[in-house]
Amino acid sequence: MNADPDSRGWRRPPADARQRKLDVAAAFGLLGVSILSMVLTRAMGMISDPASPGLSIGLIAAVILPLAVRRVAPVPALAVVSVAFVLMGELSVPELTVSNIALFMAIYTVGAWETSRARALVARLVVVTGMGVWLLISLFRASTADIDFDGPGIGVLTPIAAFMLQQVLVNLLYFAGAWWFGDHAHSSARQRALTELRTRQLQDEQEKVARQSIAIERLRIARELHDAVAHHVSVMGVQAAAARSVLDSNPEAARDRLESVEESSRVAVAELYQLLGTLRDEEMPVATGPTASLDLNSLDLLVEDSIMAGLRVTLTRVGEPYGVPPLVGLNLYRIAQEALTNVLKHAGPGTQVRVHLRFGETAIELEVSDDGRGRPGPPPRGAGLGLLGMRERAASLGGQLEATARAGSGWVVRITVPLPLRSAA
């Protein structure tokens, strides 16, 4: 696996099968074109003493065919092409056009595909330097040969000097272009790899965040489910036991208790469907609005349910009531619900419970305290999960939760939630 494209250890991925096939097809195609070019050049008679056809074809093949593996072995291909190119020039092979294209491609490929950047630099320096020395030798030969140019020259610049300067400029552009385009292609490949990597990382991060959001939301729903259903089931259990105890002696009271059980079960089922409906399909939106709050007399109805279950509950609101954020209202409602459920479970019916809701300037406080003098039954299985849920709710609001035993008997649960937005207002 390749390193991060931002690091120095990054290597361009090797050519795939399709690219290798294209290189082979291009090499054989250029070979056919170069042989045709050689035949036409011989027919024009541009070279006075050309090499034999067999030698010419052999050297042309040595220049062209290494391009078939140019992306697999860039440096060896450049070495073979360069040596064969010099031999073609020294032995007067009548073909210049396609062989120059082949040398350009070989130099370009080393810059674009060689994995070792140091090796790419050294290989191109050796080839370009060697070609420069060969060019100087060729120009020296041309200056000593009897070449007749009919041009007027430019001032002190003779026609032969103009020819030499032109060859230097053409070669500078030729080799500089092959070098620059190769490096640019390698940089572009690196940038593409970096873009693909960052895209994959972004997609992975988005999927991770989505999974975490789903997990957090399902945990919230599970906590809601525990708080809501546990309360209603506890109330139904107490009411059913009370109905059974007075069934023979007071059928009317037993009927009232059973009606309360029916109402509690209806509410529990409604909340159960609302919560579990979001768990049926992962693609369904799981975010649901608060199912209860401190508004709309929800707390009064909760107190009434607890009274019907046998608790002696009093609700006191201290301070001027004001609207609170929905999440704060929901969590405070659930904490009060869980606290009353715990009183019913552990202290039993007949327990005196006081619920205080204090509206302060910078915070809202909820307190549920009992005297612990009811008729407790056996402790339920799984006890302790409700207290953990209350602490999680308090922490999510940035509040402080106290759940301690009172002096003498009973228990007190107190949560204070700061309201910085109200303080700022």
191 and 296, same domain (yes or no) = no
- pLDDT for res 423: 46
Q: Which of 350, 369, 357 is nearest to 311 (CA)?
A: 350
Q: Please check whether residues 179 and 308 belong to one and the same domain.
A: no
Angstrom distance (rounded) from CA 137 to CA 160: 15
Nearest to 95 by CA among 84, 106, 105: 84
Tell me the C-alpha distance between 389 and 212, whole Å.
19
Tell me which of 155, 177, 204 is where a domain ends.
204
Pairing status of strand 363-370 against strand 352-359: antiparallel
pLDDT of residue 78: 96
Distance separating alpha carbons of residues 4 and 196, to the nearest angstrom? 11
Residues 423 and 361: beta-carbon distance below 8 Å:
yes
Establish if 218 belongs to a structural domain: no
Parent domain of 52: 17-204
Domain contains 229: no
The per-residue pLDDT string of the chain (425 residues; one tens digit each, 9 = 90 and over) reads 456 777 777 888 899 999 999 999 999 999 999 999 999 988 888 777 888 999 999 999 999 999 999 999 999 999 999 999 999 999 989 998 999 999 999 999 999 999 999 999 999 999 999 999 999 998 888 777 666 656 565 655 667 777 788 889 999 999 999 999 999 999 999 999 899 888 888 889 988 887 887 777 677 667 766 666 666 677 777 778 777 877 778 888 778 778 777 777 776 676 666 556 555 544 444 444 445 566 546 788 888 888 888 889 999 999 888 888 777 888 888 889 889 988 888 888 888 999 999 998 889 999 999 988 776 554 444 444 577 878 888 888 888 899 998 887 888 999 999 986 554 44
Asked if residue 165 is part of any domain, the answer here is yes
Please indicate, yes or no, if residue 119 is contained in any of the structural domains: yes
Note whether 182 and 318 are same-domain residues: no
The per-residue pLDDT for range 305-332, each reduced to its tens digit, is: 888 888 899 999 998 888 887 778 888 8
CA 171 to chain centre: 48
Same domain, 195 and 294: no
- Examine residue 212 and state whether it is found in any structural domain, yes or no: no
Same domain, 303 and 155: no
Asked if residue 256 is part of any domain, the answer here is no
293 vs 289: CA distance, rounded Å:
11
Residues 343, 302 contacting (CB under 8 angstroms): no
pLDDT of 284: 42
Output the pTM of the full model. 0.56
The residue from 173, 204, 235 where one domain ends is: 204
47: nearest Cα among 2, 98, 89: 89
**Same domain, yes or no, for 163 and 302?**
no
**Residue type for position 43:** A
Alpha-carbon span 70 to 20, nearest angstrom: 9
Regarding whether 156 and 31 lie in a shared domain, the answer is: yes
Radius of gyration of the chain (CA): 45
Query: What was the pLDDT predicted at 298?
Result: 79
113-133 residue pLDDT tens: 999 999 999 999 999 999 999
Determine, yes or no, domain membership for 304: yes
The pairing of strands 363-370 and 400-405 is unpaired
Distance CA 22, CA 150 (A): 46
Which are the contacts of 125, defined by CB distance < 8 A and separation ≥ 6? none
Nearest partner of 126 among 137, 114, 134, judged by Cα = 134
Residues 31 and 158 in one domain: yes
190 and 334 fall within a common domain: no
- Asked if residues 412 and 369 have their Cβ atoms less than 8 Å apart, the reply is yes
Closest to 227 in 3D by CA, of 387, 402, 415, 399: 387
Rounded CA gap, 411 and 371, in Å? 7
Residue where a domain stops, chosen among 204, 221, 239: 204
Q: Are residues 35 and 145 in the same domain?
A: yes
* Cα distance between residue 61 and residue 67, in whole Å: 10
Using CA atoms, how far apart are residues 407 and 236, in angstroms rounded to an integer? 31
Find the CATH number of the domain harbouring 357. 3.30.565.10
Element (H or E) spanning 416, and its range? strand 411-418
Q: Where are the alpha helices (DSSP H) in 277-324?
A: 298-308
Same domain, 153 and 296: no
Same domain, 175 and 299: no
pLDDT at position 285: 43
* pLDDT computed for residue 178 by the predictor: 95
CA–CA–CA angle 308, 310, 315 (5° rounding): 70
Angle at 162 between CA 156 and CA 168, to 5 degrees: 130
Q: Cβ(392)–Cβ(223) under 8 Å?
A: yes
Work out how many domains the chain is built from and give that number.
2
What pLDDT shows up at residue 385? 56
The verdict on residue 268 lying in a domain is no
Give every CB contact of residue 44 below 8 A, 6+ residues apart in sequence.
none
